[in-house]
Structure 1
Amino acid sequence: MNRLLSAGLAGAFVATLAVPAAAHTGHAGDAMFLQGLLHPLTGIDHLLTMVAVGVWASQNGGRALWLLPASFITMLCGGAALGMAGIELPAVEAGIAASVAVLGLLVLLNKRVPATAAAILVGVFAILHGHSHGTEMPQAAAPLLYSLGFILSTATLHAAGIAIGLARHIPRLLFASRAIR
């Protein structure tokens, strides 16, 4: 039941944020901060992965709650720097698709993994997502402002995922508090 509730909440959240997918079309125009902020929200692959990182962090609990999002954001920045520098990485799109599938499956199965191993897995996927953000940065954008935008958006999606993951405990807490009275 908790998995169904988590999946339903995640689906409802994603449906409220989803806009037409445009994360991999080669944006144009004067963008800066807002373009970077919107980039993770305009591609369902980025959106699902970043929310899944937060949900999975909450499922793992303990230090994974902060370590997974921190690892993702740190490695996202590294991947973005590679992309902005024009350094090619193999199979970026396939890796991004794999991140959606793998993290989605880990969340669905409520698979607990040691925090360090989970952070490494999340970090590898983050490099690919960051590379995508970096290579798709509009030429007119200021790299720092664009990067700050997608970092803020990513952190917000992680926080939303953590909230979704923690929300699965609410029914149990509500019923437990009624039993105490």
Structure 2
Amino acid sequence: MSRTSLPILLFALAALLAAPLALAHPHPHPHVHGGFGQGLLHPLLGLDHLLAMLGLGLWAGQQGDRRSALLLPGAFLLAMLVGFGVGLASAPMVAVEFGILGSLLVVGGLVAWGGRLPLATGMALAAAFALFHGHAHGAEMAAGLSGLSFGAGFLLASAVLLAAGVGLERLARRQLPALPLARGAGVGIVLAGLVLVALF
């Protein structure tokens, strides 16, 4: 096995092992969230969100410039807030869950490809993904202070995950330039998304 294929294999195996746990919203029925702490933990415990946000951060880092590394995650966070607000006023929808799973496939594919897109196109994609993620949580929340606290925690954790993805990509590029770690992660994200689509 070559040095370049080992990281891809490891990420693929990790994605397959994690896939049964990766769907944070297995049924389109509302359940109650509440509080800043739960909002902070949810993206870390819901692996579909964790993979999507780390993946988007990795892809933003792959663009190779500071502007993209800031604006792509920024577009995601802003649109996620919009989606959360829309979700507060509506019921959970199965289509949103498929949108979340679809975002895993697209983000993973972008990371595995490792190519650049025009910044405006990338921001539009990031915003579209984020609307699904935000809506899923807003639709499960009751309006009021509990919902706002949960949203604040969810936003903060999401920002940390996006920043971590950017940082990991840059660290991998500096320390291990011969190993396609980010692209291997993209393959793993795609595999996880495919398994989740089959399980949903």
Separation (CA, whole Å) in 2 of partners of 1:84 and 1:37: 18
The equivalent position to 1:28 in structure 2, one of 10, 29, 32, is 32
Measured after TM superposition, the shift of residue 21 of structure 1 is 5.2
Divergent runs of 4+, >6 A? 1-4, 9-12, 87-90
Q: TM-score, normalised on structure 2?
A: 0.72
The residue number in structure 2 matching 1:38 is: 41
Measured after TM superposition, the shift of residue 139 of structure 1 is 6.6
1:48 aligns with 2:51: yes
Separation (CA, whole Å) in 1 of partners of 2:159 and 2:9: 20
Count residues with an aligned counterpart.
170
The question of whether the paired residues in 2 share the 8 Å contact of 1:60 and 1:115 is answered with no
Extract unaligned runs of 5+ from structure 1: 174-181
1:135 aligns with 2:139: yes
Other structure's SS at 1:142 match: helix
Extract unaligned runs of 5+ from structure 2: 179-200
1:164 aligns with 2:154: no
Measured after TM superposition, the shift of residue 75 of structure 1 is 0.1
The question of whether the paired residues in 1 share the 8 Å contact of 2:56 and 2:73 is answered with yes
Deviations 1:56-86, CA, capped at 9 Å, x for gaps: 0000122110011000000000000000011
More moved, 35-44 vs 84-93: 84-93
1:72 aligns with 2:86: no
Other structure's SS at 1:91 match: helix
Letter in 2 for 1:80: F
Separation (CA, whole Å) in 2 of partners of 1:142 and 1:70: 24
Measured after TM superposition, the shift of residue 171 of structure 1 is 2.7
The percent of aligned pairs where both chains have the same amino acid is 40
Separation (CA, whole Å) in 2 of partners of 1:115 and 1:155: 19
Separation (CA, whole Å) in 1 of partners of 2:145 and 2:23: 17
The question of whether the paired residues in 2 share the 8 Å contact of 1:69 and 1:158 is answered with yes
Separation (CA, whole Å) in 1 of partners of 2:22 and 2:43: 10
Letter in 2 for 1:133: H
Measured after TM superposition, the shift of residue 133 of structure 1 is 1.3
The residue number in structure 2 matching 1:146 is: 150
The residue number in structure 1 matching 2:96 is: 92
Measured after TM superposition, the shift of residue 10 of structure 1 is 10
Deviations 1:124-177, CA, capped at 9 Å, x for gaps: 01001000011122578612211110000100110111122112222349xxxx
The question of whether the paired residues in 2 share the 8 Å contact of 1:39 and 1:150 is answered with yes
Q: TM-score, normalised on structure 1?
A: 0.79
Deviations 1:16-41, CA, capped at 9 Å, x for gaps: xx9x5573254436x31011112212
Compute the RMSD of aligned alpha carbons.
Answer: 3.3
